[in-house]
Amino acid sequence: MQRLNISYIQVIGLPFMFRFFENLVDPYTDYAEDNAPPQRLWPFMRAYAGPFQKVFALTAAMSIVVAAIEIGLIYYMGRIVDLLGGDPARMWADYGTELLLVALFIVLVRPVLQGLDVALLNNTILPNFGTLIRWRAHRQVLRQSVGWFENDFAGRIANRIMQTPPAAGEVVFQVFDAISYSLAYMIGAAILLSTSDLRLLIPLFGWFVLYGGLVAWTVSRVGPASKAASDARSQVTGRVVDAYTNIHSVKMFAHHDLEVEFARDAIENARKTFQVEMRIFTIMDVTLVALNGLLIVGVIGWAMALWTNGEASVGVVAAAAALTLRLNSMTAWIMWALSSFFRELGVVAEGMETIAQPIHLTDDPDAKPLKLTDGRIELKKLSHHYGRGSGGLERVSLTIQPGEKIGLVGRSGAGKSTLVKLLLRFYDPDAGQILIDGQDITKVRQDSLRQRIGMVQQDSSLLHRSVRDNILYGRPEATEAQMIAAAKQAQAHEFILDLSDPEGNRGYDARVGERGVKLSGGQRQRITLARVILKDAPILLLDEATSALDSEVEAAIQETLYGMMAGKTVIAIAHRLSTIAEMDRILVLDGGKIAEEGSHDALLAQGGLYAGFWGRQSGGFLQTEDDA
């Protein structure tokens, strides 16, 4: 029966207790997103610590209680030593009740208080605080613009998102597990010694001053050294991930040795910065041993001197000895905890360089959802140069009527992709406006704008998920039948059914690999087309949509594309001029401006840039690089 009761407690009681502490704070609780997060360390930490304020206060109180109990135990050990010097026959008669109550406290009450302290730290704070930071940091980074991501390594961004939460969790852990506990313990130690004899505080305070100096020296160097080491580790991650992401280029150009050496430079820099950090800890450890020797000799020696003069009891000497030996064992832990505290603060500071960057491309406070009625697009004196003063677009004005099909042609750097990126509001223009059905796109919500635009890019990158997930990315709420219909329309259904992955998934459940590397270029492009078909947005952007397809599949897809265009406003970038020859209007961009405009036949008749491009085609492909 007893065995059954124990099993019942283990199965029913403990999980319930754990769940209670684990659910004290919801890491996914709603919060106000900030476009300009705090740039200083402690305000940054406080911004994330909001939901934990009450838990932090309770945990700090429990750390003090636990430290007080430990000091009390040492004090009572000294009292027992003094009691043992009395009459053994009278011990239990005079002090039995007291000893029994103390024993019950140690056996029953102390574990409960210690358990509460540990549960708050291990089950409430550590799992939830790191999760909250990772969740909010990921949300914050995803709100950044495309241009922001283009200016950094994806590997370094991901590394900072992953390493900052555990570092912040370690900071909080050390605050309550070590710093608040050790402060309470040292104050309690001073009080305990003062109640025995005030003169015992002299060696203790002398040691406090020297120990404080060592702490100050250590932490002033650990923080910068730790940040430098963390920066170096992020650089290693960035270079390694860059090589792995571009492994096809590495192998194709036979640059294995070059990449190894490139990574080696970063790895060696990480080793040297870590060596600097570890030198600080070595100096700290050796100095601490010497200081602790002074503490032991000073306090115990003084207590023995008082005892020999009859000014202190044996219990005082025993308590002083126990206390100093406990401090001796604690000081290395405290120093390491403080060093870890500041080291992890350095990691958090390095992560802030990514997480706390302001978001510049934001929605207007009064932004409303885009109300798309006809699909009329107006560009008014639009300019954008990516902060370089040249390139991009220069004062382009254009009106695209609802349902009109526009082809964009031009040399590399003429501004074609810039126009598309501005239309999607991946960037804000340097000057001018883009209006959709009379609404300035900088005044509407970004998500509502992009939900109404379908885009097929030349680089048909896919998510490292199943085929189903990739197609449904266009419209997650679509049914299975609608998804399959879109795949069939994109001429993708047949080859999808033959797909499989190393995990044994087949067909639409097969995973496509990072960026879709397990598929051919044509297969990736057809899945991308299926995704856009399923989205069925009223504005369609095509950036060399059939470039990755062979001629037979392209012929079949062309009919699909023209079917997709029906009733939509379309802008199509093409180097293969045959794909846009049937457009309502073709624009030739040159030097960021519209150089020519008209139908295919009209532009050929002009004998200008477009006619020259057409005449120099090879198999219908525009040789813009040679022309440039």
Least reliable range by pLDDT among 70-84, 275-289, 347-361, 392-406: 70-84
By C-alpha distance, which of 602, 558, 613 is closest to 416? 613
Which residues have C-beta within 8 Å of that of residue 628, sequence separation ≥ 6?
411, 412, 413
Which are the contacts of 362, defined by CB distance < 8 A and separation ≥ 6? 35
Of 365, 430, 419, 335, which Cα lies nearest the Cα of 593? 419
Determine the Cα–Cα distance for residues 352 and 141; give it in Å rounded to an integer: 11
- Whole-angstrom distance, CA of residue 494 vs CA of residue 86: 95
pLDDT of 624: 46
Whole-number pLDDT of residue 617: 66
Q: Write the DSSP symbol of residue 255.
A: -
pLDDT confidence tier of residue 515, bands split at 50, 70 and 90: confident
Contact 370, 445 (CB under 8 A): yes
Write down the pLDDT at residue 548.
55
Element (H, E) at 81: helix 53-83
CB atoms under 10 Å from CB of 11, counted, come to 10
- 3-state SS, residue 69: helix
Report the phi/psi class of residue 176: left, alpha or beta, with left for phi > 0 and alpha for psi in -120 to 50: alpha
- Class of residue 405 by CB neighbours under 10 A (exposed 0-12, middle 13-18, buried 19+): buried
Cα four-point dihedral sign 482, 553, 506, 468 = negative
Give the percent of the chain with pLDDT over 90: 21
Tokens of 133: 């930071």
Size of the chain, expressed as the number of residues it contains: 628
Question: 456: number of CA atoms within 13 Å, CB side?
Answer: 33
Average of per-residue pLDDT across 298-306: 78
Check residue 389 and give its pLDDT: 64
Residue 507 banded pLDDT, cuts 50, 70, 90: very high
Question: How many Å is the Cα radius of gyration of the chain?
Answer: 35
Q: Where are the domains of the chain?
A: 2-22+42-238+269-355, 366-452+570-628
Q: Which two tokens stand for residue 98?
A: 């007291």
User: Is 50 exceeded by the pLDDT of residue 328?
Assistant: yes
Q: Domain 366-452+570-628 carries which CATH code?
A: 3.40.50.300
pLDDT, average across residues 315-323: 75
The DSSP code for 107 is: I
b/e map 242-272, b = 16+ CB within 10 Å:
bbebeeeebeeeeeeeebeeebeebbebbee
The whole-number pLDDT of residue 67 equals 82
pLDDT band at 554 (very low <50, low <70, confident <90, very high): low
Neighbours of 563 (CB within 10 A): 10
C-alpha to C-alpha distance for 506 and 497, rounded to whole angstroms:
7
pLDDT digits (tens, 9 = 90+) for 212-244: 888 788 877 877 887 788 788 878 888 888 888
> pLDDT-based confidence at 7, cuts 50/70/90?
very low
Q: Which fold has domain 2-22+42-238+269-355?
A: ABC transporter transmembrane region fold (1.20.1560)
324-360 b/e with 16+ CB inside 10 Å = b?
bbbbbebbeebbbbbbbbbbbbbbbbbbbbbbbbebe
Comparing CA positions, the residue from 218, 342, 216 lying closest to residue 284 is 218
What is the rounded CA–CA span in Å between residue 551 and residue 375?
Answer: 32
Identify the weakest region by mean pLDDT among 133-147, 170-184, 427-441, 456-470.
170-184
Give the pLDDT confidence of 451-468 residue by residue, as tens digits. 999 988 877 778 888 999
Average pLDDT over residues 252-277: 87
Query: Is 171:348 a contact under the CB 8 Å cutoff?
Result: yes
Which amino acid, 446?
A: Q
Tell me the average pLDDT of the chain.
82
Q: What are phi and psi of 542, to 5 degrees?
A: -125, 120
Rounded Cα distance, 487 and 468, in Å: 10
Identify whether the C-beta of residue 531 lies closer than 8 Å to the C-beta of residue 474.
yes
* CA separation for the pair 603, 525 (Å, rounded): 30
Question: Alpha helices of 253-406 — where are they, by DSSP H?
Answer: 256-308, 314-355
Q: Classify 253 as helix, strand or coil.
A: coil
The first and second tokens of residue 115, run together, are 């358990």
Q: What is the pLDDT of residue 486?
A: 92
Closest CA to 433 of 397, 459, 404, 403: 397
Average confidence (pLDDT) over 135-150? 87
Q: What is the DSSP string of 514-530?
A: GGGTTS-HHHHHHHHHH
Pick from 267-276, 315-324, 511-520, 535-544: least confident: 315-324
- End-to-end alpha-carbon separation of the chain, Å? 89
pLDDT above 90: residue 150: no
- Alpha carbon distances (Å) from 586 to 294, 421, 422, 604, 623: 87, 19, 19, 11, 17
pLDDT of residue 4: 41
Tokens at 484, concatenated: 């399959």
Residue 87 zone, left/alpha/beta (φ > 0; ψ -120 to 50; rest): beta
pLDDT at 618 over 70: no
Nearest to 418 by CA among 192, 612, 591: 591
